[in-house]
Structure 1
Amino acid sequence: MPPNLFLQNFQSKQTAQQQFHVTASLSILCLHYYNFKHHWKMTDLHSKIGDTTSPYIYCLAPIESLYFVRSKEGKIYLHSLIMTSVANMSSEALPHIAMYPWFAIGHLYSFMDTANKLAERGHIISFFLPTKTQTKLEPLNLYKDLISFIPITVPHVDGLPSGTEITADIPRSSLSLLTTAFDLTEPTIDSSLRDIKPHFVFYDFAHWLPSLARRLCIKAICLSVVGPPAVGYLISPERKLIEKPITVVDLKAPPQRFPPSSIKLSAHESREALTLLTVKKDGQGGISFVERLMISYIDCDALVFKACREMEGIYCDYLEAQFRKPVILSGPMVPRPPTSALENKWATWMDGFEAKTMIFCAFGSECILKKDQFQELILGLELSGLPFFAVLKPPIGVETIESALPKGFEERVMGRGLVHGEWVQQQLILQHPSVGCFVTHCGSNSSAEGLVSECQLVLLPHAVEQYIIARELAGDIKLGVEVEKGEEDGLFTREGVCRAVRAVMDDDSKVGQEVRANHTKWRELLLSTGLENSYLDSFVQRLYSLLE
């Protein structure tokens, strides 16, 4: 069959619900045709192309990038920008990736997002996770025929409450116990990897996985849920963290060769970073958190970040030079468009406000403020004079949102302000026409959702990585305004919250005009056609190059 006729017939079978992509594994091209759970063999189209008979079809790039060539021997080959030839493909040779993220919901969700994107391109994924946590991730699995969950029983550790599986189940003071339990799963992971024999294993905090994977001839890929700027600032080999003690003064400034930027930490933030980096696994003689991270990064075969060179290229180059490992980018964190509708009670209430006038404030699933800071925050929202919707956990030591509200607050903001303590559909709320400002804690997922929204960003970080994200967004890229905090105590005031909100919401504010223009520019880039796919194609190609 002539190549053009073959391509015409291939394209004629497309529908709106079918997806085509293309990729190569070394000398192997495996195309995959997706029609929900149905797999279409090449023989349905043509009995033989080149030397290949009846391969399954996998995908990795748009169908338009495929073309056919005839070799000197007269054989027909399928080609794309990222493949070289077609070879025999058996079911045992399908690209197979295992994943074992740290037991925190943000890490699990981040790995799940990567799993979906790799499965979309035909990879088989074996995803290790705590047993009961599987129900939280099941709804996020978009390719159930390719992504399999492998439940792991969290080992018993004295002092760890029964039934604990993820960080959200325990206070921060018990994290070292959960880390100990996490490391006790090593024999289980070892046995499972021997059984499933993947090509790659993706991990983040399991510092023992690279040596285990090496024994099994599996490539160990450190998939960081922390961005390149934070990794470079905090744990660059240049700091020699394992060889010598690090101090608060050290952490206030970036490493000497760190790229020029606005990123630095206050005294309060540096103390918090030092506490995090030096905490021990079991609270006594175990490995410290910084040693865990350093081993994870140094012993891997490649570092993967959800980032793009347009925004964070200088930090990626710095990391590649410092760790002497390939730094592979899977592209910016662009949230998938939600498929559900906003809950009616919220939509109805928000419909009553003018376009782009409402403040939406949300601090994620794990950020819990002290009562005085909780009150300063919502009083700052009140002081702005704008309608607001705040989604916050009850403060430390307080059981309900209602009991934490300042006296007379509910009466004063009735009809224009709401404080809610349960989960909401954040992406859909950010898309609502009435919302014009997003006050965020700068978690990686929330930051990504804020970046691709049309809302102006007010930044109020509460954890070490979040401080660095806030400096990058407000200082380097200048697409948001950070709420001022005390250098020593890290406290913010209602007036500071109000000033930041007004700065981004005031049409006549020079700061507001600058951040709005920059936000629009970066939003358009992140949502530009083909950007995400081009990064993912390159990501897969570079992964496969590790097998050569």
Structure 2
Amino acid sequence: MSESDSSKLHIAMFPWAAYGHFIPFLRLSNKLAQKGHKISFLLPKGVQPKLETMNQYPNLIQFFPLLLPHVDGLPPGAETTSVVLGSQQKYLAFAVDQTRDQVESIFKVLKPDVVVYDFWFWIPGLARQLGISPIAYVVICSMAMGLNTKVVTKETTVEEVKELPPGYPSSTVKLKDEEAVIMLFKAQDFGSGLSFQERLRATLIESDAIAFRTYREIEGPFLDYVAKGFRKPVLLSGPCLPEMKTEQLDDKWVSWLSQFKPGSVVFCSFGSASELLQKDAFQELILGFELCGLPFLVALKPPQGCLTVEEALPEGFEERVKGRGLVYGSWVPQQLLLHHPNIGCFVNHCGYGTMWEFLLSDCQIVLIPQLGDQILNTRLMVNELKIGVEVERDGNRRVSKESLSEAIKFVMDKNNETAKTLRANHAQLKQTLSNRDLQEEYINGFIRALQNLVKK
């Protein structure tokens, strides 16, 4: 019997109301349940049916639905960020804050050993009253959390945001003015009279430990900086990606990709971030793929104001790229596509979950970050790990078709020495991360750390 089996834990999970948080929390739950630990997963009532198919251990992982009260400013029935504009998320946060009594009742009955949570600043106080250990679980990169050791207020200027906190482990994170403006949203109201950063800092400062879904091999110096800055133990679960053993790519994708040479196709996906695109930006991107001259598969949702991708395409585009390029407006099996031998380049937004998927692929990487943490993930990939390139933008953060095309052609040029170095760095990192025992070691270490915290 291994150390991690010596005492079974009962762990409550309480993620922020977004699928980019529900899914990593559920993947961690599956890894813990695989080791025999019991999970009680709190979530808005309407979300439960959408997650049930991902629950691999229904005998050990039980969902506890919360009824979100109506809050002025929130669309009726809204329970997640997927149906709420960025400016309305503060109302969603406030609505979930109003479930505190429901959460307390559930905890009093269940008596879990640990609660793993994020953004719910009131959880640590409630948990400690009931003898539960509160663990903050961060589902974005530690590079971003390190920046949160510096307090941001409504009076903070763009220049002050651009200054790195003392002792920060990298000087390559330098933010541009327009990126610093994006980061300033942390000073804005985010429900219950708190700014986004106040909520986040309270979540971290009041916890017993801060956990990350990463490997030390990727983010080591930044993890150490967070531990020192917040004076907390840092626990690592590993990325907890699902196994791909039994899944196969649909025939329609295999058939389409088989027309092209190995490593020649450019694949693009922005996940849910593609919903943020305006029609003109969407068209400029699409024209960039046409301009690069390579075969391409672009999976983007219709831009704002359009019901389908077809109506958003530039005039004459489909005729010009027939037989070479495909723009697809629905969900695609991104992880499986990235492992198809004919795909050689991946253009994406560098969301944290997507980042782990491309790290385990053989593709060349071209990045177009949209939001705050994606900008920092991109800096980590481009400046620290040196495995990809970021597409240049103009002063208004616009990406031109020429800059996208140039970035793609640069990484796909087999004679370019820099592109060769990027490929070699990526291959070396993939080899380390692909070790099957690595995730197992991390989850066992994570469980031991939780057990030790509970014993104290």
1:209 match = 123
> C-alpha displacement at 1:338, in angstroms?
5.4
Q: Distance in 1 between matches of 2:50 and 2:245?
A: 17
The one-letter code sitting in structure 2 at the alignment partner of 1:356 is G
Pair 1:446-2:360 in alignment:
no
Q: Which moved more, 1:212-221 or 1:311-320?
A: 311-320
**Residues 416-495 of structure 1 mapped to structure 2, 5 A cutoff:** 416-486=324-394, 488-495=395-402
Pair 1:221-2:135 in alignment:
yes
**Residues 142-541 of structure 1 mapped to structure 2, 5 A cutoff:** 142-233=56-147, 235-236=148-149, 239-241=150-152, 245-275=155-185, 277-282=186-191, 286-332=193-239, 334-337=241-244, 339-367=246-274, 368-486=276-394, 488-541=395-448
2:46 match = 132
Q: Distance in 1 between matches of 2:105 and 2:112?
A: 12
Q: Distance in 2 between matches of 1:492 and 1:214?
A: 48
Mark the runs of 5 or more structure 1 residues left unpaired by the alignment: 1-20, 31-93
Deviations 1:123-182 (A, max 9, x none): 100001111211221111111111111111221112322221111112222212111111
Q: Distance in 2 between matches of 1:272 and 1:124?
A: 39
* Contact 2:273 2:370 survives alignment (8 Å): no
> C-alpha displacement at 1:333, in angstroms?
5.1
Q: Matched residue of 1:325: which SS?
A: coil
What's the Cα RMSD here?
1.5
The one-letter code sitting in structure 2 at the alignment partner of 1:293 is L
Q: Matched residue of 2:255: which SS?
A: helix
> C-alpha displacement at 1:505, in angstroms?
0.9
1:45 match = none
> C-alpha displacement at 1:332, in angstroms?
4.1
Normalising by structure 2, report the TM-score: 0.96
Deviations 1:262-304 (A, max 9, x none): 21211111101102x022134xx72111100010000000000
* Contact 2:27 2:241 survives alignment (8 Å): no
Q: Distance in 2 between matches of 1:494 and 1:240?
A: 38
Q: Which moved more, 1:403-412 or 1:390-399?
A: 390-399
Q: Distance in 1 between matches of 2:398 and 2:177?
A: 12
Q: Matched residue of 1:348: which SS?
A: helix
Q: Distance in 2 between matches of 1:358 and 1:333?
A: 28
The one-letter code sitting in structure 1 at the alignment partner of 2:175 is L
> C-alpha displacement at 1:343, in angstroms?
2.0
* Contact 2:12 2:40 survives alignment (8 Å): yes
Normalising by structure 1, report the TM-score: 0.80
Q: Distance in 1 between matches of 2:127 and 2:183?
A: 30
Q: Matched residue of 2:366: which SS?
A: strand
Give the length in aligned residue pairs: 454
The one-letter code sitting in structure 1 at the alignment partner of 2:238 is G
The one-letter code sitting in structure 1 at the alignment partner of 2:201 is M
Q: Distance in 2 between matches of 1:115 and 1:333?
A: 9
Q: Matched residue of 1:546: which SS?
A: helix
The one-letter code sitting in structure 2 at the alignment partner of 1:145 is N
Structure with bigger helix share is 2
Q: Bigger relative contact order, structure 1 or 2, given CA contacts below 8 A and separation 6+?
A: 2
* Contact 1:159 1:177 survives alignment (8 Å): yes
* Contact 2:269 2:299 survives alignment (8 Å): yes
Q: Distance in 1 between matches of 2:231 and 2:87?
A: 35
The one-letter code sitting in structure 2 at the alignment partner of 1:150 is F
The one-letter code sitting in structure 2 at the alignment partner of 1:281 is F
The one-letter code sitting in structure 1 at the alignment partner of 2:228 is A
> C-alpha displacement at 1:256, in angstroms?
2.2
Mark the runs of 5 or more structure 2 residues left unpaired by the alignment: none
| Closer/same/farther in 2, CA of residues 104 and 346 from structure 1, 3 Å limit | same
> C-alpha displacement at 1:261, in angstroms?
4.0
* Contact 1:225 1:305 survives alignment (8 Å): yes
Identity %: 43
Q: Distance in 2 between matches of 1:288 and 1:260?
A: 26
Pairing partner for 1:543 from 438, 450, 454: 450
Q: Distance in 2 between matches of 1:478 and 1:428?
A: 24
Q: Distance in 1 between matches of 2:432 and 2:267?
A: 24
* Contact 1:470 1:482 survives alignment (8 Å): yes
* Contact 2:258 2:342 survives alignment (8 Å): yes
The one-letter code sitting in structure 2 at the alignment partner of 1:226 is I
Q: Matched residue of 2:193: which SS?
A: coil
* Contact 2:142 2:222 survives alignment (8 Å): yes
| Closer/same/farther in 2, CA of residues 336 and 265 from structure 1, 3 Å limit | farther
Q: Distance in 2 between matches of 1:410 and 1:172?
A: 33
Q: Matched residue of 2:331: which SS?
A: coil
